[in-house]
Amino acid sequence: MRYHWLIGILLIVIACKEQLGEVTETTVVTDSIACCGPNSGNSRASQIMAATKTNTVDSDSLIINKKEGTSLGMIWIEGGTYLMGGEGKLARQDEFPKHEVTVEGFWMDEHEVTNTQFLEFTEATGYVTIAETKPDWEEMKAQLPPGTPKPHDSILVAGSMMFKPTAGAVDLSDYSQWWSWQTGADWRHPQGPESDIKGKEQHPVVHVAYYDALAYCKWAGKRLPTEAEWEWAARGGLENKIYPWGDEHVDAARPKANTWQGGFPYHNSEKDGYFTTAPVKSFVVNGYGLYDMAGNVWEWCSDWYHPETYKIAASQGRQVNPQGPTQSFDPNDPYAPKKVQRGGSFLCNDSYCASYRVSSRMPGSLDTGMPHLGFRTVKSAN
């Protein structure tokens, strides 16, 4: 469901304007995420990908245009065995139980993929991201209640989600107060059509859907990390610690990551210096030399999301290079396939999700980009 957010917003509008009593926000917008979490979506993008040459993830054209493989800008992460899962009182249910995991060594980008890197990819391949593609009504209506009227063409334009602070403190259970659909928002226009990435060349690329990240990986000869690899790397050699740097609070003394300081979602003191994304490598590295494994932008992983993943894993003994479940499931949005995202973002705050913890997990729809969602790549030893 590529346009999960858009559909949800359309339904809200329709419910308000046309008083379709049975069509409410809760009938469709069921994501568990609110403050900083990305969202959901499913097979629609796959169909669009199949029909759009430049968006075809597995297309030969991308392979033909494949970049020469390189480990430049990557850090070798030595393999090892660790206890994967929740640390501290902020850990959520899906982070338990802790269980033993072994990962082989791999290469990992020292920082999140930047706008400069993504630009190189799009110029080499002609790739167009999902957020830059006009929604197709025929595909959308299949995901809507029968009889839902077609919205005005002015709404069916390319775009993405946008965060906007509220005027004051609000009920945090209703994220539509700070998230809205923004036409013309995409990775080249991260804050909407009037914005650009000039001066943000070294900021992480955002508004990238899973498919977009996957296409980049194929071109670069790399891949997305598994959840187990990501967490092992984020821990940076520390054991049983909450954050990549240890247990000290993110804002104790000097901020150690780009997060949200103040009252979410209405006041950001910007103690760390950034309201939205920060240039990569702006904060302290972890023990492996990796930047921004906490905060800045969420990062796609290759595993399907399932809240029971760890319970199943723990019952099977030590896991070696786990790849995640074969199917996804998000109880708050059961019809949308979702992949795992890690690391939290500049919107994370202790009052809400505190997802700049090494064990925090979040589900996200494969075809939905967000202004606080990016990725980094990894590469196996061989």
Determine the residue type at 200: K
In the complex, the smallest distance separating the C-beta of residue 347 from Ca ion, rounded to whole angstroms, is 9
- Judged by beta carbon, residue 148 or residue 202, the one nearer Ca ion is 202
Determine the residue type at 126: G
Structure tokens at 71: 């480990």
In the complex, the smallest distance separating the C-beta of residue 259 from Ca ion, rounded to whole angstroms, is 6
In the complex, the smallest distance separating the C-beta of residue 272 from Ca ion, rounded to whole angstroms, is 4
Segment 51 to 110, residues that bind Ca ion, using CB under 5 A? none
Stretch near Ca ion under the rule CB under 5 A, chosen from 146-154, 266-274, 317-325, 359-367: 266-274
- Judged by beta carbon, residue 183 or residue 202, the one nearer Ca ion is 202
- Judged by beta carbon, residue 30 or residue 276, the one nearer Ca ion is 276
- Judged by beta carbon, residue 143 or residue 268, the one nearer Ca ion is 268
Which runs of consecutive H residues, i.e. helices, occur in the chain? 4-18, 25-28, 44-51, 60-64, 115-125, 137-141, 210-220, 227-235, 309-315
In the complex, the smallest distance separating the C-beta of residue 266 from Ca ion, rounded to whole angstroms, is 15
Q: Count residues contacting Ca ion (CB under 5 A)?
A: 4
Residue 272 interacting with Ca ion (CB under 5 A)? yes
CA dihedral 164, 169, 170, 176 (to 10 degrees): 0
- Judged by beta carbon, residue 128 or residue 284, the one nearer Ca ion is 284
d(CA 134, CA 350): 36
- Closest residue to bound Ca ion by CB: 274
Structure tokens at 202: 């070294």
- Judged by beta carbon, residue 286 or residue 345, the one nearer Ca ion is 345
Q: Please classify residue 60 by burial: count the beta carbons closer than 10 Å to its beta carbon, then call 0-12 exposed, 13-18 middle and 19+ buried.
A: exposed
d(CA 229, CA 282): 23
Residue 292 interacting with Ca ion (CB under 5 A)? no
CB 34 within 8 A of CB 168: no
In the complex, the smallest distance separating the C-beta of residue 285 from Ca ion, rounded to whole angstroms, is 18
Residue 274 interacting with Ca ion (CB under 5 A)? yes
- Judged by beta carbon, residue 111 or residue 218, the one nearer Ca ion is 111
- Judged by beta carbon, residue 87 or residue 292, the one nearer Ca ion is 292
Contacts of residue 335, defined as CB under 8 A and 6 or more positions apart, other chains included, come to 1, 42
Query: Going residue by residue from 136 to 165, which x/- string records binding to Ca ion, judged by CB under 5 A?
Result: ------------------------------
d(CA 30, CA 40): 9
In the complex, the smallest distance separating the C-beta of residue 348 from Ca ion, rounded to whole angstroms, is 9
In the complex, the smallest distance separating the C-beta of residue 346 from Ca ion, rounded to whole angstroms, is 5
Query: Going residue by residue from 332 to 351, which x/- string records binding to Ca ion, judged by CB under 5 A?
Result: --------------x-----
d(CA 156, CA 256): 40
Parallel/antiparallel/unpaired status of strands 319-320 and 298-304: unpaired
d(CA 369, CA 4): 11
- Judged by beta carbon, residue 130 or residue 278, the one nearer Ca ion is 278
Stretch near Ca ion under the rule CB under 5 A, chosen from 111-119, 230-238, 271-279, 308-316: 271-279
Based on its alpha-carbon atoms, the radius of gyration of the chain, rounded to whole angstroms, reads 20
Which stretches of the chain bind Ca ion, using CB under 5 A? Answer: 258, 272, 274, 346
